[in-house]
Structure 1
């Protein structure tokens, strides 16, 4: 019998109600604006805003205008590249998560590392990456592989946990494990976005959760550090923060400001 690892986390104090409130914020946005009005241009705009915010969190100095014109730095260009395939990758994330994550890295890091490093999961013979400022050291390759494999298996099994909780845990695990040589933050945030689409939280990808993370950037690294170091209390706090991120992502949607 398979174990549902996500459901107990959804039952931590305050998480269930916070997840429902965040889901309601997205549902109100979609209902009030009308799903029939969500065209591909609105999705593209939301994804572009998310790419800029995610890249900024990773250290990019590109402006939104530079991102739109395609003249941004490597971090922002990689984030934009991921948006081009995100909607196609989302349906696969529950079936072949590792393949989705490695594809996201290929897109994110194309301007940052050599071809042999794209989509490459690190081994014990390689340096431990340190590409998300403020986090404690990443685990060694053996522990990383073990936890990554367990996470992937859990994603392919049924769960009664809200999709938002699943997405937040995947984000945290990928950020903490840092399985790739670089661009791990970009991949982690895109993986979260994929799951918010796949699990029906925002199926048309018109919210901007990466923007929510950017608005709350002062607690990004500390939230992940607590997730690692403070047991279930740290996990609960990360999940509560993630619920706030999704709510802010709905507020930042281009739908919210459209006529």
Structure 2
């Protein structure tokens, strides 16, 4: 009997192939020559686009160039920018103290959106608490599946639980990116998965709802969506690299 609680996900139809395809797509994008001399610039652009996409998925859509110019002061967008900027500094702590990191992400995301008393504090719900316990165990070494699968599960579960008041989706998307950063899958933060979710938003919403059912078909739907979003994120990396070299 396999003791890894997430291993059965890879037996769902087409999931293992989708994971491998997404990984290969990202690996190919990592070969872009812009990353040799302009990696920091590319990573900053990925961070900006990810934040804009995450805020839009929370219902706060803004033009990227206006955000870049610093003219957008809307609180959810500003929170998404703070979360995106903080991820590299939180990646090491994530794998050992995910509760602390989730609280920090919420403080960053929800400032000026929720009350001071709610910042960094999970909702008082025993079901949410129990499922967060399970999630923490997975993040701190309870599974050996691909980081892509773990990131998808962390993302889907936090979207479903909404353990924090306000823009909990921004927290969920930040936590999923932290899985990829902290495991070394994407240590420089070059994969704009949230852009993929935004570009496929109807599918994102539907697949997240399917994930919440906990059925094999629902889990498969979400995992396949997530891997498709990874591929879009990898394509974004290539596009950003091309733009950087052309500038």
TM-score (norm 2): 0.92
Q: How many residues end up aligned between the 2 structures?
A: 241
Which residue of structure 2 lines up, in the alignment, with residue 23 of structure 1? Answer: 23
Task: Give 1:240's aligned residue.
Answer: 224
Whole-Å separation in 2 of the counterparts to 1:61 and 1:12: 34
Q: Distance in 2 between matches of 1:256 and 1:108?
A: 31
| Secondary structure at the counterpart of residue 30 of structure 2 | helix
Correspondence list, 1:81-120, <5 A: 81-120=82-121
Shift of 1:159: 2.7
Q: Kindly indicate whether the alpha-carbon contact (under 8 Å) linking 1:10 and 1:162 is maintained by their aligned counterparts in 2.
A: no
The one-character-per-residue Cα deviations of 1:76-130 (angstroms, maximum 9, x if unpaired) are 100001122111112222211111111111100012012221111111xxxxxxx
Paired position in structure 1 for 2:43? 43
The question of whether the paired residues in 2 share the 8 Å contact of 1:70 and 1:77 is answered with: no
Task: Tell me if structure 2 keeps the 8 A contact 1:144–1:179.
Answer: yes
Q: Tell me the SS of whatever aligns to 1:157.
A: helix
Q: Which has the higher helix share?
A: 2
Look up the match of 2:187: 203
- CA-based RMSD of the aligned residues comes to 1.7
C-alpha distance in 2 between matches for 1:198 and 1:35: 20
Structure 1 length normalisation: TM-score? 0.88
Segments of structure 2 that go 5 or more residues without pairing to the other structure are: none
- In structure 1, list runs of 5 or more residues that go unmatched: 124-140
Following TM superposition, where does structure 1 have runs of at least 4 consecutive aligned residues deviating by more than 6 angstroms? none
Question: Does the aligned pair in 2 maintain the 1:19–1:165 contact within 8 Å?
Answer: yes
Match of 2:175 in 1: 191
